[in-house]
Chains A and B, each alone.
Chain A
Amino acid sequence: MSGTAFRTTKHRLATRPIFHKLDETIRGQVLRSYLALVLKAELEARIEQLGQKGSWPATIADLDALTETEIEQDGGRSLLRSSPKPAASLALRADVALPPTVQGAPQSDCQIRTCSAKAGIVATRRSSRCAASARP
């Protein structure tokens, strides 16, 4: 089991040297890795319970690709969610329900300003940080 944990930490979680000055931040770093392993193992176990086997790198990459974009059209603002890729679908099926594909946008939401002239859609990014607009 310790061998598996070591391989997971070195390979799948891609451990690399991080320099700390203080002992407590080194210990904090170790505990953080432990917590990450707990979450990873739990999600993998849930996927297994569905009778599926997911590749961890694919799961991470596909979850990372799941986005939500704020769009403005006809004076209204909405959040448009991208469709999940296969590995993300599996992880989400094991865990949570996805938000709807389109939903009304709350006041203090995110970000980028991109335009699509063809679709007549304007997506607005108000700052460089998600929900940074909520900061004082």
Chain B
Amino acid sequence: MCRIGPALTFERVWVETGCRQVIASLARGRGHRFALERAVFLTVLHRLMRGGSDLAADRWREEYRIAGSEQLDLHHLYRAMAWLGEELPAGAGHKSLQALSTRYAAPWPAKIKNKEYRPRPTDQR
């Protein structure tokens, strides 16, 4: 028995928000010999569903079908996290975050647009 719901749902959101393209394009130039984008997706999915360490993510995925993650091992997840958090020279900012923020300015755009977000008095301080 494999659990298929989480990957089935979030894989498409991952693609359509542009996350996949951004991560994949940034990873391409680094010559990693494993599917870095899949490793990042796996850990993000684990973050959404359960949360915890990379070790926990590696154990968690045993019951799940996540396309392209079959060849990944725990050390790949560690390397993916280190890659995500790499520091750039001062002033350059975080490359992944910059690239993502141009595509997806804030995590709540649709919601704010639909609800005509107005700051509460406490937010204006």
Taking Cβ atoms with an 8 Å cutoff, the residues of A that contact B are 1, 3-5, 13-16, 18, 22-46, 48-49, 60, 62-69, 81, 84, 88, 91-92, 95-96, 98-99, 109-112, 114, 123, 125, 128-132, 134-135
Contacts and interface: CB of A to CB of B under 8 A. Distances in A.
16 contacts: A15-B51, A22-B85, A24-B82, A25-B78, A28-B85, A40-B48, A41-B110, A45-B114, A65-B5, A68-B4, A88-B9, A92-B8, A95-B12, A99-B8, A110-B65, A114-B1
B5 A84 contact: yes
Interface residues of B, number: 56
Given A45-B111, A66-B5, A96-B8, A38 B104 contact: yes
Interface of A is mostly: helix
B65 A131 contact: yes
Interface of B: 1-6, 8-10, 12-14, 16-17, 19, 40, 43-44, 47-49, 51-53, 61-66, 70-71, 78, 80-87, 94, 96-97, 100, 104, 106-108, 110-112, 114, 117, 122-123
A133 B15 CA distance: 27
Chain B interface SS verdict (over half): helix
Nearest to A91: B9
Contacts, number: 180
A136 B40 CA distance: 22
Contacts of B111: 41, 44-45, 48
Nearest to B111: A45
Contacts of A88: 5, 9
Residue from A29, A38, A49, A81 whose CB has the most chain B CB atoms within 10 Å: A38
Contact of B52 (A18, A68, A135): A18
A69 to B, nearest CB: 5
